Amino acid sequence: MRVYFDNAATTALDPEVLKEMYKVMESQFGNPSSIHAHGREVRTVIERARKTIANLLHTSPAEIFFTSGGTEADNTAIRCSIIDHKLTHAITSRLEHHAVLHTLEAIEKSGLIKLSFVNTDNKGAVDYDHLETLLKTNERSLVSLMHANNELGTITDLERVGDIAEAYNAIFHSDTVQTVGHYQHDLSKLKLHFMVCAGHKLHGPKGAGFLHINHKVKINPMIYGGSQERNMRGGTENVYGIVGLAKALELAYSEMDAHQAHIQGIKSYMKAKLEQEVPGVTFNGETDPSKSLYTVLNASFPEMEMADMLLFNLDIAGISASGGSACSSGTDIGSHVLTAIGANPNRPSVRFSFSKYNTKDEVDYTVAKLKDLCLVSA
């Protein structure tokens, strides 16, 4: 059996998305910046996709800007807001994705900002009182906090952070890559200045995403070279990716309740099976379903010989999972997220992340393999 439990890293392309992309690939090849009929036809395709996304998120199409994915969107929001609004202070957490952490650390190193880290507890939850203290005692700030942690699944209350940020005239950016398409986002109500999406996290194509820029905040482009995206992002648009992204989000919204129920059922079933079959297993992050991303389960296993081989042995058994953020794969550096919450470094941890395509049979197979591996290594 082949099992894919690494959906927080990327998801399989939905066949309906591929069909939608193929329609455009087959017949609409013009450059959307060209004024002739071939170009205008493709421009219409892009704007239709933009309108679809904006309608689903309850915002204006003028606030949606297509990018190559979440990392570019995060970099644009962070770098441009700091530079264009002359901010000298930024607040984030030590649990953020490296697209945020490394960007802010590089800007701090350049001398442009002072960087502060809001406290988080051992489940990865933000200390909202400490966030307010940091905002009170510093210059106007950028607040950058992700909606749901990509390794732990712990959710941050965007409404609460938005209210706190507004009270101190802060700019609020959230990396929402793990939650767009999995939860409803009403941008007419959320007090967000920037949010991001990557299509491949919701059964869309890789290399396509968007940055939502609230009309209340103005920034200059990070990428120059053309007038694309209403002068906000130079470079010919990834037309096929944009079409696939819009279709993926449309499907996600139309099927959201059913998929959430199915995936939450898979997650709960796996947690119960692990507790039943693997003595000593514990779970990292928030386990309350109302405060945790339903697609992610992070488990720590008992100390064992060759702990660093656990993921390799799962792979040999045909099971794909992750030890942390996919962007860290292939390095010798452990998870900065698990380090930040004080997890035991001697216990191997595995992030299992689920999609609409996973089954309980796959869970049974995976738990049986894990039980064998833990017994052999005990």
Per-residue pLDDT at 304: 79
Domains of the chain: 3-12+256-377 (3.90.1150.10), 15-254 (3.40.640.10)
**What's the mean per-residue pLDDT of the chain?**
94
Beta carbons of 195 and 161 less than 8 angstroms apart: no
| Residue 186 pLDDT > 70 | yes
Residues ≥6 apart with Cβ < 8 Å to 242:
45, 46, 49, 50, 66, 208
| Residue 264 pLDDT > 60 | yes
Cα gap 311→307, rounded to integer Å = 9
| Residue 341 pLDDT > 60 | yes
Looking at the DSSP assignment, which residues form a beta bridge with residue 142?
90, 171
CA angle 148, 143, 286 (to 5 degrees): 25
Summarize pLDDT for 190-216 with one digit per residue, the tens. Answer: 999 999 999 999 999 999 999 999 999
Task: Give alpha helix (H) positions in 222-359.
Answer: 228-231, 239-254, 256-277, 310-316, 336-340
Rg (CA), the chain: 21
The residue whose two tokens read 């309608």 is 55
Cα gap 119→38, rounded to integer Å = 53
- At 329, is the pLDDT very low, low, confident or very high (cuts 50, 70, 90)? very low
Summarize pLDDT for 23-32 with one digit per residue, the tens. Answer: 999 999 999 9
- At 299, is the pLDDT very low, low, confident or very high (cuts 50, 70, 90)? very high
> Dihedral of the CA atoms 31, 36, 41, 46 (nearest 10)?
50
Cα gap 95→146, rounded to integer Å = 9
Summarize pLDDT for 120-175 with one digit per residue, the tens. Answer: 999 999 999 999 999 999 999 999 999 999 999 999 999 999 999 999 999 999 99
Closest C-alpha to 274, from 297, 296, 291:
297
| Residue 375 pLDDT > 90 | no
**Average pLDDT of span 211-228:** 96
| Percentage above 90 pLDDT, the chain | 90
Per annotation, catalytic residue among 80, 197, 327, 374: 327
φ and ψ at residue 210, rounded to 5 degrees: -150, 160
Q: Which 3 state secondary structure label does DSSP give 296?
A: strand
The secondary structure of residue 298, as a DSSP letter, is: E
Q: Does the annotation mark 374 as catalytic?
A: no
- At 334, is the pLDDT very low, low, confident or very high (cuts 50, 70, 90)? confident
Per-residue pLDDT at 373: 87
The secondary structure of residue 13, as a DSSP letter, is: P
Sign (positive or negative) of CA dihedral 103, 106, 111, 116: positive
- At 376, is the pLDDT very low, low, confident or very high (cuts 50, 70, 90)? low
